[in-house]
Amino acid sequence: MNRDDLVRLRKARDRMDREYAEPLDITALATTALMSPGHFQRSFREAYGETPYGYLMTRRVERAKALLRRGDLTVTEVCMAVGCTSLGSFSARFTQLVGETPSAYRARSHEDSAVIAPCFVRKYARPRRA
């Protein structure tokens, strides 16, 4: 993969990081990367080791974890706040990546992580697919 492709892919990835709560589809992301949708999907997977959808959902789950730790929003409100439209799909992906349901994650204590610097929490608490 050439350097120009990587720069364009990074722009699309940065857009996903910024606009994770917006309805982003492959066509819009491919347009950001100045690529066809098929080429974009293949190139993204080659460069980052996961599909654009997988990356976007990981970002959404990562943000959802932070909102659930606060405890002032319901799981449904968190689901909508991070850009998911289906509570069932959100819960399934959350459970797959985190290892527990959003409700269980929200219900347990998160005081242990309150004393850890946020930059370390983000690095080590990032959801990962098994």
Q: Evaluate whether 92 touches 122 at the Cβ level (below 8 Å).
A: no
Say what the pTM is. Answer: 0.82
CA–centroid distance for 108 within its chain: 22
Return the residue matching tokens 């080429």.
39
Instruction: Quick: pLDDT tens for 73-127.
Output: 999 999 999 999 999 999 999 999 999 999 999 998 776 665 556 666 555 566 6
